[in-house]
Amino acid sequence: QSALTQPRSVSGSPGQSVTISCTGTSSDVGGYNYVSWYQQHPGKAPKLMIYDVSKRPSGVPDRFSGSKSGNTASLTISGLQAEDEADYYCCSYAGSYPFVFGTGTKVTVL
C-alpha cells in the first residue's frame, strides 16, 4: 500500500485560504468516505481535525473544512491564522490494510 500523495508545502498570508490535496486510489480515498486529517505541531502528537471526509470533531474551528472528489480529498483552511502553521497529514481507510497516511504537508503562514 503506497502513501497518499500530498504537496510538500503550501503557504498563505493571515486571513487567506489554503487548500491541501490528498491523492490516492480507488482502493483507499476513492473507495470509502473515511478520510481524516491531522494537524501536528513540532514535537507534539497529531491532532484530529477532520473525519469522515468533512466532519469536524468538537473544538475544531469551523475554519477547517474537508471535501472529496474521486480519488482526491482536500483540506481547506479559511481565514488562516498564525497558530495554523503546522504539518498536516491526511489518512484514509483502505479496507483490509486498513489505514494509509499521506506524505504530509507543511503549512506556512507568511
Residues of the shown chain interacting with another protein in the complex, contacts defined by CB under 8 A: 1, 3, 32, 34, 36, 38, 40, 45-48, 51-52, 57, 89, 91, 93, 96-104
Q: How far is CA 59 from CA 27, 47, 49, 55, 106, in A?
A: 31, 11, 9, 12, 22
C-beta of 76 vs 101, nearer to another protein: 101
C-beta of 25 vs 40, nearer to another protein: 40
Q: Residue 46 Cβ, how far from another protein at the closest point, in Å?
A: 6
Please check whether residue 20 is in contact with residue 74, taking contact to mean a CB–CB distance below 8 angstroms: yes
**Count of Cβ atoms closer than 10 Å to residue 97 Cβ:** 11
Q: Residue 1 Cβ, how far from another protein at the closest point, in Å?
A: 7
